[in-house]
Structure 1
Amino acid sequence: MDLTLPIYQHPTLVTLIDDSQTFLESLSFQLPHQLARRAFHDVEAALASVREAHRTSTQFSITVGYDEQVLSFERRVVAFDVDQIYRQVMNRHRFLLPAVLVIDYAMPQMNGVAFCESVSALPCKKILFTGEADERVAIDAFNHGLIDRFIKKSDHAALDRLETEVRTLEKAYFSAQSRTMQDLLSRHSFTFLSDPAMAALVEQLRRQYGFVEYYLFPNPSGILFFDIDGKPTLMVVETEAGLLSQMEVAEDNGAPEELVAGLRDMRLLPFFADTGMYTDAIEQDWLSYCLPAQHCAGKQDYYWALFDLPAHLLPGPVYSYADFLRDQEAVC
């Protein structure tokens, strides 16, 4: 089980593939409304749709550069624009990504295992939804890495398990997709990405506040959450060293003593969204830019707080998951 934090995660479009239109309609009706899905009874149409969606999905780019004088491999430089992570929220098509496929086994055009072999080069996760007679086939496919889970249709809690596994595999998809960048970033300014305690805290906050998507945020460092209606909330995350560094800047800029003391004692977390740090404009109203620092004890001590993010700090209006679900209903 991955106990680290993907650099971003959002709802995706579960793809259901079964040759029985009646079964697909019944399954779609019984799944939760907030689990967006697209159903295919035509295997070839499903295959084409999944391939096209992954072909056109946005990929982050990592640039590797070298010292221009000596072209030294040891002096290689990795360049990555961290801002592009949270700017993904501007992509209206992000929810159309088929991260998890749910595939019937016994289909006349192509059986479920053959379908999984056909998309084995794609990063999507696969659940084989089988009948009793297909269990041996499913186990063999699982053991050969062709599928990620299998669920028997006859199981009493099949639908509950299907929802649970879809959400688990969706997170696993984003973990796999962002692992290289996560590793690079966690070695520098974003150490909390590799800390299981912070991963657990983010999951707790998602459940507590109903956040449906999040993105790594660069300045101040933290996690930018969005609820189903697209309302942004910024979780500012600091280390002890980071707060002490802010304290020194505050002192050098003549910030109020109460603010300096709050930073020194790890009691306050500031977010100067509109003014910049420690200007004359905040001298009388500095407390409105601060929240009590919450503590997370992980591999090191982290201090965090949840701030409302002013809409003007985003590149544009957010196409929310609620908007997407309404548009999907209109199409169906």
Structure 2
Amino acid sequence: MNISLPVYQHPTLTILIDDSQSFLDSLAFQLPPHMARKVFHDTQAALDWLRDAYRHSPSKSQSIRVNYDEQAFSFERRTVAVDIEQIYRQSMNRRRFLLPSVLVIDYAMPQMNGLAFCQAVQDLPCKKILFTGQADEKIAIDAFNRGLIDRFIKKSDHDALDRLELEIRSLQKEFFHAQSLTLKDLLSRHSFTFLSDPALETLVEQLCKRHGFVEYYLFPNPTGILFFDMHGKATLMVVETEASLMSQLEVAQDYGAPLELLTGLRELRLVPFFSDSGGMYTDALRHDWLSYCLPAQICFGAQDYYWALFDFPSHYLREPFYSLADFLRDQSADIKS
């Protein structure tokens, strides 16, 4: 699997499909409460819902456009423009948590067996786990080798539920790797080199565990990653390199910034987030510049990255935020009603 950061990642739906309603109820109950899921005991209903869900997928709003230089006639000189703001703006889509990323499908079902179901949704990007009985193991292995499924788990295994939870989490991550592969390859060649650095991926995973972040999005200016916790609290991880801090230094020098700020930038000790001035130092910040800076922490990767975590100003989002906690509350209310 590719070891690098997706350009965004958020909680998604796990779809459970089994002809036994009692088994579905038991399985859904035993999964962690914060792992959103939807259950189907009718395969046709599941197929119809999945296709409709992907027709309304929030990822369709992501904008990648190719612009052609009128003065350039060769293919090699074509330029690609990416509307990076559209990446973190996906956090404002209330339907993002309804995106189905992983299917957990029983094999032996009367309407349509699990393998036939996987073939029917082969064109969809969701990952697939086949839940099988002991007698179906050879069928599952063959389906895995043919690429029809991504994992299979035997129901009879003593640790089947623990394995299922682990595999769901792993495949959700693979889902976002696949969804953002083209964007990542484009962006990591330019200002977002950290996307392809395993050291940054490890750091982001550690920060998610430490601070309870459940979703994140690439942020364009300043370069970094925008995190949200379960209740919608936003935190921006600003990621700088030595070159980008020297660019900040040049701007600050042009504006006659205080010596302490210039020294901190020159010595790579400060990470700024001038949130009220378009990201760069201005005269208006002279007497309050320290409140816009934090001590630089260092991530040693393919190059040194200087980073800090800032509270994210609410005016950047422009509208009320719909959090994972809001979604789970609404989903629970729908089930009860």
TM over 0.5: yes
CA shift for structure 1 position 55: 1.8
- Distance (Å, rounded) in 1 between the aligned partners of 2:299 and 2:71: 44
What letter is aligned with 1:19? Answer: D
CA shift for structure 1 position 280: 3.3
Aligned pairs (5 A) from 1:24-43: 24-43=24-43
Contiguous gaps of at least 5 residues in structure 2: none
Aligned residues with identical type, % of pairs: 71
What letter is aligned with 1:314? Answer: L
Alignment RMSD: 1.0
What letter is aligned with 1:9? Answer: Q
CA contact under 8 A between 1:237 and 1:305: conserved in structure 2? yes
Are 1:326 and 2:329 counterparts? yes
Q: TM-score, normalising length from structure 2?
A: 0.96
Change (3 A) 1:281 1:35: same
- Distance (Å, rounded) in 1 between the aligned partners of 2:235 and 2:63: 26
What letter is aligned with 1:189? Answer: S
What letter is aligned with 1:166? Answer: I
CA shift for structure 1 position 288: 1.1
Q: TM-score, normalising length from structure 1?
A: 0.98
- Distance (Å, rounded) in 1 between the aligned partners of 2:30 and 2:254: 61
Q: Report what 1:252 is aligned to.
A: 254
- Distance (Å, rounded) in 2 between the aligned partners of 1:322 and 1:67: 46
What letter is aligned with 1:269? Answer: V
Q: Report what 1:270 is aligned to.
A: 272
Q: Tell me the secondary structure at the aligned position of residue 99 of structure 1.
A: strand
What letter is aligned with 1:200? Answer: T
What letter is aligned with 2:127? Answer: K
Q: Report what 1:71 is aligned to.
A: 73
CA contact under 8 A between 2:118 and 2:148: conserved in structure 1? yes
Structure 1 moving runs of 4+ over 6 Å: none
Q: Report what 1:116 is aligned to.
A: 118
CA shift for structure 1 position 278: 2.7
- Distance (Å, rounded) in 1 between the aligned partners of 2:246 and 2:42: 60
- Distance (Å, rounded) in 1 between the aligned partners of 2:198 and 2:277: 34
Q: Report what 1:176 is aligned to.
A: 178
CA contact under 8 A between 2:87 and 2:218: conserved in structure 1? yes
CA contact under 8 A between 1:90 and 1:315: conserved in structure 2? no
- Distance (Å, rounded) in 2 between the aligned partners of 1:70 and 1:36: 49
Q: Tell me the secondary structure at the aligned position of residue 299 of structure 1.
A: coil
Q: Report what 2:141 is aligned to.
A: 139
Instruction: Report Cα offsets for 1:248-295 as digits up to 9, x if no partner.
Output: 111111111111111111111011112453333322222111111010
What letter is aligned with 1:133? Answer: A
Q: Report what 1:311 is aligned to.
A: 314
What letter is aligned with 2:320? Answer: P
- Distance (Å, rounded) in 1 between the aligned partners of 2:301 and 2:54: 36
Q: Which moved more, 1:200-209 or 1:16-25?
A: 200-209
Q: Tell me the secondary structure at the aligned position of residue 100 of structure 2.
A: coil
Q: Report what 2:289 is aligned to.
A: 286
- Distance (Å, rounded) in 1 between the aligned partners of 2:214 and 2:299: 22
